[in-house]
């Protein structure tokens, strides 16, 4: 999903590729965060939406959280204790695969047993939409 | 030359090609003739034989380990040193890839009957039954009689495939009363040719056919196996048709040439005859059929039908 | 009394009946059209739920639901004529015009070929792909961007806490949450409850005879002296039925309006005829064949408004409609060609919707339609011959239309039904290549009686979804509730309760390290323990979902068309049906059976030749973990395990293999039968795998039967491909299994290579095979009669074969819609030549 977007944003891409795996998830979420401010209409997605997401790897080496509330998105560089959904990837590579493979979606990663979801799966579906909506608005789809 | 204990090469079940309906076919091992073009050369010898299929071998070496006679030789293209081999079958048991096989197994009559009865529902619903083939099952009249009596008690339709080289009186007493249909192979009308290619004179075969046609009240269906350049010649066609007309046969069919016997001959370590390696092409086959039909048309005495049935 | 008219008996194939121009055009449009997502239903349901505070409720009553559905029925768009669809082009999906002259108005969705959304159930999983779904590779759906916006902002957000999965998860205990996690690992079992309440056959006989008004009156009468909750149930029934009547009247009005605009005389007349029909039915009793079909059709759309379009089935239509047909024929209002034409149109209507399948799920269930089964033939409740004119007319319509949906199933009772009938069924399979599936009445009835159905109930079975038998209109069996991957039970027993797919964590009970076992019996015990454990987990989870259904999804519409609820005043979902059960289906039977036989023979050396080498269990595991790709030893071991000459294989009448299959099916039947479901019924088990044997196969490692990692499993009850050269032995081995263990149906898939130019011989052989297999006790058989070359051509040039119909395991699909894996699975299936009866390898 985001790969094409990253291609289009070569600056961010360059920055990302230089980032240690541990950090890049945050970058990603920050990227999304900024899109809420920059892209007209995109903010609709989080109007009246509250939800707490935790992304992490099994060894907890990589962790980030996103909290949506009152039309706002806040990124934390750690795993919060309270969440609506927590996504645990087998390892950093699985996380990268998930975020950067062409036709990714969560079920495909589940198929490969590379990710485990705790909590409310519907939040993942919504997150998936927001990611693709971003591409859509950037006219990359 | 009869042995009381025939070996069976195979029981093929669910065949649609060896008589009416769905059938089980018993291939007996052993044959009085020695046709060079035999398409089941593994049925010629009455004894058990070892076959090696080189294409299925993965070179694991288990066979050599198992052989107590040191008969496995990886330098031989046929793998088995036939002089040393005692045909015990140990190597085939351990071979994982079924590249080795011991051909020929003895079935007590009751066991064979049980195997054949497994498909009785299929026989009933298709108008099928059992076909005795070979090799030449008439070599084992006692065994075959016991089997036939068991099958007849169950009302099973039995077809016999024969090369016709049997002793008529014994056949008439032990086998004929219990069968329903005969496929009778006639290869040559000419005696010299017959001796040349099968190792035996055809006198008995032709006499037996004559007698069956005139005496027996069941369908006796003659078949001529096509072997390009050997049986499939104008001359032979003409002579065979003459014979059939004279004998009073009312139908005949041609069996398409089957080259699979060549591979098998190699597998069991027999010399491979110099014959075409492939099946006849459709147009070749059609041509043969046309030649035959032409001859038939000219000589038709009003009885001989062609082509006869679709069973082959 | 024979129910075959002189006219039909003259030519049972009804060759003279052809497609009329009108239906030909519609059929063409149908094949051209891509599915379109329809948000109408989701929008109404969401809006009603918001306005009436249903999202805040802890429990939703049947009356709430009924009012909601009534409102939708009264307000949904009246489609009398479809005018446009979307077709596949190089540049994506583009609109095209449709000339619709169908005698049937109304539609399941607002679209020509619609994908209805049920956000209460599983629709939210389409959320991530809304923008891309019209461009995805496999089976794209059209959707307008404004519809994406509506779904994203106004519909889906409301269901995030309120769809069945989430409601169940929130209510689940810690233990139960673990079971939900098991489903997420995907390799153990799937439950389809989160997707639907369906997989059953409604009863249409009552509405045909009395009309909806008759049922409304009956409900009123039944209220007398009942408790307030029962009265509420009957009121709910009345509400929804009134809604259906209004929907039909709206269609009549719309038809009339269109007729007013129409200048062409013929078309005008057609519209007026529709108006007239829809004003009368389904409100009042159907007077003729066309009204009968219209009644069923309109009720069918309403049932789908309530229940997701997965496996709802129409039942024994040739029986239910026969009286009306007969009446029309007698008074000269109908002839056979006209009946065929009506049914062709009806078939198209039935297929006017497809289920919403997210991209990843395509890998498990690719190519599926709604699997709406129709059943013909067999015997009636009293055991007498039920084959009639309509049986043959429906066969002809099916043969002409070649649709995957409806999925035609034919019953055959040996001797009571004529041999000519069976011949005709086989002929239809040769013509269509894949349909109808054939069911052996004797075996099926035996299976149902073994589950305590009365002979009358059992004899009146229809087929649900793929191949599952259920007493017509009275059996609520949700026959596809659980899909159990049996190879995972084997896996857990080989690895002491762990699974290669999920790594080191303990999943199942610890049943011991098999390398310490001394006998095969010990291994079997481990396998049995793991199997029972999986059954407990899956059924417990299914019951959990069932309870959520009871709280949030009462089913007034389906209940109105069912034997039971109307009599006892109880909703279907609460156990109101005359017969209750839940169904499971097993994936990987043949692979597991062969693997057990392999372990028994090569590890524990039962029945082995003393000259053969023993394989230590640890060495076997080593080879599996190397996927048999190590040295020559691995290769040799795999060969030995794969060859039927070396290791017992199911499908060859091998006693050890047969015994293992029997033990497994007996174990599963017994274990499922012990468990109660949430409606007071039991669990029934069957063996049909749709396309999931390819999907599950992808996730599983190498197995002791020589199957390598990721390869397909064998389908349904079919033996493993490539190990069964003799068709008669295959049929004999399958027929040998006890039908009493198969109350949820089986699918035996056979692939035949047709004989060129000798149709008669081909037909005779096919008939003989079926007769013999049924005679020996076989329960079900389904075919693909297509040559290998044609398959290969269809893989390479899909656009040339838009309607190439194939049997997966259970339902029929269009070959082009299948995943690569599934196409390969079908191509790799053992192919028997109809000329020789032998496999062609
Ligand atoms: S059959 Fe016996 S003697 Fe002959 S090669 Fe095999 S093992 Fe050796
Ligand atoms: S045992 Fe079989 S596969 Fe192995 S080397 Fe001998 S013939 Fe070849």
- What percentage of residues in chain C have a pLDDT greater than 70? 99
Q: How far is A110 from chain C (nearest CA, A)?
A: 7
Neighbours of chain B (3+ CB pairs under 8 A): C
Which of C359, C501, C503 comes nearest A105 by C-beta?
C359
What does the pLDDT look like over C166-207, one tens digit per residue? 999 999 999 999 998 888 888 888 887 666 678 999 999 999
Q: Which ligand is nearest to the CA of C636?
A: 2
Element (H, E) at C410: strand C407-412
Mean pLDDT of chain C: 94
**From the CB of B60, is ligand 2 less than 6 Å away?**
yes
Whether residues B233 and B273 share a domain: the answer is: yes
Chains A and B touch (3+ CB pairs under 8 A): no
Confidence of residue A100 (pLDDT cuts 50, 70, 90): low
User: Where would I find the beta strands (DSSP E) of C547-613?
Assistant: 579-587
Give the closest-approach CA distance of B17 to chain C in angstroms.
6
For residue B75, report the distance from its CA to the centre of ligand 2, in Å. 13
The string of pLDDT tens digits covering residues C400-446 is 999 999 999 999 999 999 999 999 999 999 999 999 999 999 999 99
> Ligand 1 atom closest to Cα of B66?
7
Do residues B71 and B128 share a domain? no
- The confidence score (pLDDT) of residue C350 equals 97
Distance of CA C719 to the CA centre of its chain: 21
The reported pLDDT for the residue numbered A13 is 43
Task: Report, as an integer, the average pLDDT of C590-601.
Answer: 98
Sort out which chain C residues have CB atoms less than 8 A from A116's CB and list them: 181, 184
- Strands (E) across B194-257 are located at 219-225, 253-255
The answer to whether C131 contacts A44, with C-beta atoms less than 8 Å apart, is no
> What are A's interface residues with C at a Cβ cutoff of 8 A?
44-45, 48-49, 103, 105-108, 110-111, 113, 116-117, 120-123, 125-129, 131-133, 135-136, 141
Four-CA torsion C707, C709, C711, C713, nearest 10 degrees: 60
Nearest to C714 by CA among C486, C520, C532, C489: C486
- Enumerate neighbours of C (3 or more CB pairs within 8 A): A, B
Band the pLDDT of A98: cuts 50, 70, 90. low
Measured between alpha carbons, how far is C122 from C144 in angstroms, rounded to an integer?
Answer: 20
Q: Mean pLDDT: which of A30-39, C160-169, C817-826 is highest? A: C160-169
A–C CB contacts, 8 A cutoff, strictly below: 85
Q: Whose CA is nearest to atom 2 of ligand 2?
A: B95
- Is position B310 within any domain? no
Nearest-CA neighbor of C796 among C822, C812, C815? C815
How much is the mean pLDDT over chain A?
75
Q: A2-138, which class in CATH?
A: alpha beta
Whether B205 maps to a domain, the answer reads yes
Average pLDDT for C785-806 = 90
Q: Is the pLDDT of residue B169 over 60?
A: yes
In this predicted model, which residue has the larger pLDDT, B45 or A55? B45
Least CB-CB distance to C185: which of A113, A120, A133? A113
Range with lowest mean pLDDT among C325-334, C415-424, C814-823: C814-823
Ligand 1 centroid vs B86 CA: distance in angstroms? 6
Buried b (16+ CB within 10 A) or exposed e, C770-805: bbbbbbbbbbbbbbbbbbeeebeebbeebeebeebb
CATH of the domain at B82: 3.30.70.20
In terms of domains, do B82 and B193 share one?
A: no
Ligand 2 pocket check for B33: Cβ under 6 Å:
no
Residues in chain A: 141
Determine if ligand 2 sits within 6 Å of the CB of residue B74.
no
Q: How confident is the model at residue C541 (pLDDT cuts 50, 70, 90)?
A: very high
Indicate if B175 and B285 belong to the same structural domain: yes
Q: pLDDT tens-digit profile of A74-94?
A: 988 888 999 999 988 887 777
β C33-34/C682-686 pair status = unpaired
Do residue B18 and residue B112 come from a single domain?
A: yes
Taking CB atoms and an 8 Å limit, are C166 and A117 in contact across chains? no
Give the side-chain half-sphere CA count within 13 A for A62: 23
Nearest CA-CA distance, residue A137 and chain C, Å:
10
Q: pLDDT for B64-97, tens place per residue?
A: 999 999 999 999 999 999 999 999 999 999 999 8
Alpha carbon of B7 to ligand 1 centroid (Å) = 18
**Which tokens hold the place of B208?**
């037996």
User: Is residue B2 situated within a structural domain?
Assistant: no
Res C820 pLDDT > 70: yes
Residue-wise pLDDT for C249-287, tens only, equals 999 999 999 999 999 999 999 999 999 999 999 999 999
Answer whether B37's CB lies under 8 Å from B230's CB. yes
Residue C747: is its pLDDT beyond 60? yes
Q: What is the CATH number of the domain that holds B116?
A: 3.20.20.70
Q: Nearest chain B Cα to C728, which residue?
A: B14
For residue C382, the tally of other CB atoms under 10 A from its CB is 10
Among the partner residues C160, C184, C358, nearest to A123 by beta-carbon distance = C160
List of chain C residues whose C-beta atoms are within 8 Å of the C-beta of residue A111: 186, 360, 363, 698-699
C interface test, pick of B20, B25, B119, B125 with most C CB neighbours within 10 Å: B125
Question: Which residues does ligand 1 sit against, CB inside 6 Å?
Answer: B 50, 66-67, 69, 71-72, 80, 85-91
Is the confidence at residue B308, as pLDDT, over 50? no
CA B80 to ligand 2 centroid distance, Å: 11
pLDDT digits (tens, 9 = 90+) for C339-385: 999 999 999 999 999 999 888 777 666 677 889 999 999 999 999 99
- How would residue B303 be classed by pLDDT, with cut points 50, 70 and 90? low
Q: What are the backbone dihedrals phi and psi of residue C187, each rounded to the nearest 5 degrees, phi first?
A: -90, -10
The residue whose CA has the least distance to atom 4 of ligand 1 is B85
Tell how far CA A63 is from the center of its chain: 11
Burial C43-67 (b: 16+ CB within 10 A, else e): bbbbbbbeeeebeeeeebbbbbbbb
Does ligand 2 come within 6 angstroms of the Cβ of B67?
Answer: no
* DSSP E strands, C637-736: 682-686
Segment A21-53, tens digit of pLDDT: 556 667 677 777 888 888 878 889 999 999 999
Considering the domain boundaries, does residue B35 fall inside one? yes
Q: How far is CA C830 from the centre of its chain?
A: 24
B177 and B281 belong to one structural domain: yes
Q: Whose Cα sits closest to atom 2 in ligand 1?
A: B88
pLDDT confidence bin for C811, thresholds 50/70/90: confident
Provide the pLDDT for residue A107. Answer: 59
* Percent of chain B predicted with pLDDT > 70: 95
Closest residue in B to C647 (Cα–Cα):
B96
* Option in B98, B122, B124 nearest C728 (CB): B122
Distances (CA, A) of C551 to B242, B253, C60, C167, C574: 90, 75, 6, 10, 10
Compute, in angstroms, the gap from residue B69 CA to the centroid of ligand 1: 7
pLDDT greater than 50 at residue B278: yes
pLDDT value at residue C363: 67
What is the chain C residue with the closest CA to A119? C169
Contact C186 A121 (CB under 8 A): no
Interchain contact, C161 vs A120, CB within 8 Å = yes
Q: Quick check: C144 and C115 in contact, CB under 8 A?
A: no
The protein residue whose alpha carbon is closest to atom 6 in ligand 1 is B91
Touch criterion met for C and B (3+ Cβ pairs within 8 Å) = yes
> What is the token pair recorded at C308?
């997701």
How does pLDDT run across C36-71, given as a tens digit for each residue? 999 999 999 999 999 999 999 999 999 999 999 999
Q: Do the Cβ atoms of B58 and C636 come within 8 Å?
A: yes
Would B240 be classed as within a structural domain?
A: yes
Are B116 and B254 contained in the same domain?
yes
The single residue listed with the structure tokens 């919060």 is A80
Checking DSSP bridges between strand C114-116 and strand C36-38, what pairing results, if any?
parallel
Residue of C613, C727, C775 with shortest CB distance to B14: C727
Could you tell me which residue, C318 or C182, shows the higher pLDDT?
A: C318
A137: nearest CA partner in chain C: C131
Q: Could you tell me the residue range of the domain that residue B72 belongs to? A: 49-103
- Considering chain C, what percentage of its residues have pLDDT values greater than 90? 84
B17–C836 CB contact, under 8 Å: yes
Q: Does the Cβ of B155 fall within 6 Å of ligand 2?
A: no
B vs C, Cβ pairs < 8 A, gives 88
* Closest residue in C to B19 (Cα–Cα): C836
User: Which residues does residue C379 pair with via DSSP β-bridges, in sequence order?
Assistant: C385
Other beta carbons less than 10 A from residue C22's beta carbon: 17
Same domain, B76 and B141: no
Instruction: Mark whether B145 and B227 lie in a shared domain.
Output: yes
Residue C122 has pLDDT above 70, yes or no: yes
Q: Report the domain count for chain B.
A: 2
- Cross-chain residue pair C765–B16, CB shorter than 8 Å: yes
User: Mean pLDDT score of chain B, rounded to an integer?
Assistant: 92
Label the pairing between strands C475-476 and C407-412: unpaired
Greater model confidence, C524 or C815: C524
Residue C253 phi/psi, 5-degree rounding, is -60, -45
Tell me the average pLDDT across B128-153. 96
Centroid of chain to Cα C342: 24
B89: left (phi over 0), alpha (psi -120 to 50) or beta: left
Nearest by CB to C361, from A107, A122, A135: name it: A107
* Residues of chain C contacting A, Cβ within 8 Å: 124-125, 127-132, 135-136, 152-153, 156-157, 159-161, 163, 165-166, 169, 181, 184-187, 358-361, 363, 501-503, 698-699
DSSP C501-529: TTBTS--S-----GGG--SHHHHHHHHHH
Residues of A in contact with C132 (CB under 8 A): 132, 141
Per-residue pLDDT band for C733 (boundaries 50, 70, 90) equals very high
Do B16 and B76 fall within a single domain? no
What does each C-alpha distance from C362 to C235, C375, C484 come to in angstroms?
A: 41, 27, 18
| Residue among B14, B94, B121 whose CB faces C726 most closely | B14
Closest atom of ligand 1 to B92 CA is: 6
């Amino acid at each position: 999903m985001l790969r094409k977007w990253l291609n289009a944003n070569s600056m961010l891409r360059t920055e990302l590729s230089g980032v240690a795996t541990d950090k890049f998830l945050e970058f990603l979420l920050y990227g999304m965060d900024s899109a809420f401010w920059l892209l007209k209409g995109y903010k609709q997605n989080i109007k009246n939406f509250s939800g707490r997401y935790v992304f992490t790897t099994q060894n907890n080496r990589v962790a980030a959280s996103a909290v949506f509330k009152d039309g706002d998105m806040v990124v934390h560089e750690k795993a919060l204790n309270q969440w609506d959904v927590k996504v645990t990837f087998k390892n950093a590579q699985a996380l990268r695969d998930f975020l950067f493979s062409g036709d990714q979606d969560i079920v495909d990663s589940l198929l490969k047993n590379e990710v485990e979801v705790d909590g409310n799966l519907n939040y993942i579906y919504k997150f998936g939409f927001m990611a693709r909506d971003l591409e859509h608005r950037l006219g990359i789809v | 030359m009869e042995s009381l204990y025939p070996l069976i090469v195979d029981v093929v079940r669910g065949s649609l090609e060896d008589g009416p309906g769905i059938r089980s076919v018993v291939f007996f091992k052993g044959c009085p003739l020695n046709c060079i073009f035999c398409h089941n050369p593994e049925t010629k010898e009455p004894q058990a034989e070892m076959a090696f299929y080189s294409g299925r071998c993965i070179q694991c070496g288990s066979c050599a380990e198992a052989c107590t006679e040191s008969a496995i030789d990886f330098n031989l293209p046929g793998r088995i040193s036939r002089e040393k081999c005692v045909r015990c079958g140990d190597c085939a048991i351990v071979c994982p890839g079924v590249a080795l096989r011991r051909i020929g197994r003895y079935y007590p009559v009751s066991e064979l009957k049980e195997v054949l009865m497994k498909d009785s529902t299929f026989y009933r619903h298709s108008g099928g039954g059992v076909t005795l083939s070979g090799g030449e099952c008439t070599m084992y009249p006692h065994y075959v009689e016991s089997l036939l009596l068991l099958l007849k008690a169950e009302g099973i339709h039995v077809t016999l495939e024969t090369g016709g080289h049997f002793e008529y009186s014994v056949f008439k007493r032990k086998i004929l009363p219990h069968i329903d249909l005969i496929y009778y192979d006639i290869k040559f009308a000419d005696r010299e040719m017959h001796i040349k290619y099968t190792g035996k004179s055809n006198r008995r075969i032709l006499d037996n056919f004559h007698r069956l046609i005139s005496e027996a009240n069941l369908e006796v269906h003659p078949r001529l196996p096509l072997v390009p350049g050997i049986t499939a010649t104008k001359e032979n066609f003409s002579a065979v048709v003459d014979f059939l007309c004279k004998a009073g046969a009312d139908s005949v069919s041609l069996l398409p040439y089957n080259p699979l016997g060549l591979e098998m001959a190699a597998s069991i370590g027999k010399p491979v005859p110099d014959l075409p390696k492939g099946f006849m092409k459709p147009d070749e086959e059609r041509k043969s059929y046309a030649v035959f039909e032409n001859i038939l048309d000219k000589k038709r005495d009003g009885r001989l039908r062609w082509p006869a049935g679709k069973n082959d | 009394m024979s129910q075959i008219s002189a006219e039909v008996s003259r030519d049972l194939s009804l060759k003279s009946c052809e497609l009329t121009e009108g239906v030909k055009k519609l059929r063409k449009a149908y094949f051209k059209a891509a599915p379109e997502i329809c948000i109408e239903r989701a929008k109404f349901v969401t809006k009603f739920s918001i306005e009436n505070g249903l999202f805040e409720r802890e429990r939703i009553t049947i009356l709430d639901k009924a009012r909601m559905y009534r409102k939708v029925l009264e307000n949904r768009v009246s489609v009398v004529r479809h005018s446009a669809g979307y077709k596949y082009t190089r540049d994506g999906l583009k609109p095209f015009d449709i000339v619709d002259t169908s005698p049937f108005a109304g539609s399941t969705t607002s679209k020509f070929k619609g994908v209805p959304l049920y956000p209460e159930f599983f629709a939210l999983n389409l959320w991530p792909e809304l923008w891309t779904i019209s461009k995805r590779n496999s089976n794209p759906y059209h959707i307008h961007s404004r519809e994406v916006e509506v779904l994203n902002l106004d519909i889906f957000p409301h269901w995030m806490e309120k769809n069945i999965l989430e409601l169940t998860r929130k209510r689940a205990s810690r233990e139960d949450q673990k079971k939900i996690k098991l489903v997420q690992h995907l390799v153990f079992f799937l439950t389809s409850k989160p997707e639907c309440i369906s997989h059953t056959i409604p009863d249409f006989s009552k509405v045909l005879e009395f009309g909806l008004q008759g049922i409304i009156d009956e409900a009123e009468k039944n209220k007398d002296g009942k408790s307030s909750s029962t009265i509420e149930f009957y009121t709910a029934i009345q509400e929804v039925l009134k809604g259906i009547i209004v929907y039909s009247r709206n269609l009549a009005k719309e038809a009339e309006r269109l007729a007013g605009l129409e200048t062409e005389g013929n078309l005008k007349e057609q519209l007026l005829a529709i108006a007239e029909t829809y004003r009368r039915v389904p409100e009042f009793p159907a007077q003729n064949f066309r009204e009968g079909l219209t009644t069923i059709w309109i009720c069918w759309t309403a049932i789908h408004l309530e229940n997701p379009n997965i496996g709802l089935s129409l039942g024994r239509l040739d029986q239910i409609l026969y009286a009306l047909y007969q009446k029309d024929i007698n008074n000269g209002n109908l002839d056979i060609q006209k009946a065929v034409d009506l049914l062709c149109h009806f078939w198209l209507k039935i297929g006017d919707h497809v289920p919403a399948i997210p991209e990843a799920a395509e890998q498990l269930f690719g190519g599926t339609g709604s699997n709406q089964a129709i059943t013909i033939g067999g015997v009636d409740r009293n055991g007498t011959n039920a084959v009639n004119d309509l049986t043959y007319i429906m066969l002809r319509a099916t043969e002409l239309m070649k649709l995957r949906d409806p999925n035609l199933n034919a019953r055959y009772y040996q001797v009571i039904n004529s041999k000519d009938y069976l011949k005709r069924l086989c002929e239809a399979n040769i013509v269509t290549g894949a349909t109808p599936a054939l069911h052996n009445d004797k075996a099926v009835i035996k299976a149902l009686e073994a589950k305590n159905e009365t002979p009358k109930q059992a004899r009146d079975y229809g087929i649900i979804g793929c191949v599952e038998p259920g007493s017509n209109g009275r059996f609520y069996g949700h026959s596809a509730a659980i899909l159990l991957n049996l190879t995972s039970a084997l896996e857990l027993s080989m690895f002491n309760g762990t699974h290669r797919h999920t790594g080191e964590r303990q999943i199942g009970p610890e049943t011991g390290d098999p390398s310490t076992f001394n006998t095969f019996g010990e291994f079997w015990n481990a396998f049995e323990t793991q199997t029972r454990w999986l059954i407990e987990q899956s059924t417990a989870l299914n019951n959990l979902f069932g309870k959520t259904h009871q709280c949030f999804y009462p089913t007034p519409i389906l209940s109105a068309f069912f034997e039971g609820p109307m009599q006892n005043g109880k909703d279907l979902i609460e156990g109101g049906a005359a017969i209750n059960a839940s169904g499971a289906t097993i994936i990987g039977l043949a692979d597991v059976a062969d693997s057990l036989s392999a372990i028994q023979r090569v590890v524990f050396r039962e029945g082995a030749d003393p000259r053969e080498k023993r394989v230590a269990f640890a060495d076997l595991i080593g080879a599996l973990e190397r996927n048999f790709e190590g040295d020559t030893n691995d290769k040799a071991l795999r060969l030995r395990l794969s060859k039927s000459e070396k290791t017992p294989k199911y499908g060859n009448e091998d006693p050890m293999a047969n015994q293992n299959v029997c033990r497994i099916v007996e174990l599963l039947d017994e274990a499922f039968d012990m468990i109660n479901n949430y409606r007071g019924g039991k669990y029934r088990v069957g063996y049909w795998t749709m396309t999931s044997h390819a999907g599950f196969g992808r996730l599983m490692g190498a197995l002791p039967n020589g199957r390598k990692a990721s390869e397909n499993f064998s389908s349904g009850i079919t033996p493993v491909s490539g190990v069964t050269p003799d068709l008669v032995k295959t049929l004999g081995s399958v027929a040998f299994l006890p039908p009493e263990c198969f109350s949820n149906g089986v699918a035996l898939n056979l692939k035949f290579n047709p004989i060129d130019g000798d149709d008669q011989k081909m037909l005779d052989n096919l008939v003989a095979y079926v007769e013999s297999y049924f005679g020996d006790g076989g329960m079900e058989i389904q075919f693909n009669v297509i040559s290998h070359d044609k398959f290969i051509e269809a893989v390479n040039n899909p656009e040339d074969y838009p309607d190439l119909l194939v049997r997966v395991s259970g339902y029929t699909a269009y070959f082009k819609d299948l995943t690569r894996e599934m196409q390969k699975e079908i191509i790799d299936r053992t192919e028997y030549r109809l000329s020789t009866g032998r496999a062609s390898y």
